[in-house]
Amino acid sequence: MTEDQMYLLGSVLLLLVLIALSYRSNRRFGRINTIVFIIYATFITVMGLNYSEHGKALVWLFFGLFFLAVHIAVVSTHLIQYYRKKRERERN
**Predicted pLDDT of residue 50:** 87
**Predicted pLDDT of residue 85:** 93
**Predicted pLDDT of residue 92:** 77
The pLDDT tens digits along the chain (92 residues) read: 788 889 999 999 999 999 999 998 899 999 999 999 999 999 998 988 888 888 888 898 999 999 999 999 999 999 999 999 999 999 87
Q: What is the DSSP string of the chain?
A: --HHHHHHHHHHHHHHHHHHHHHHH-HHHHHHHHHHHHHHHHHHHHHHHHS-GGGHHHHHHHHHHHHHHHHHHHHHHHHHHHHHHHHHHHH-
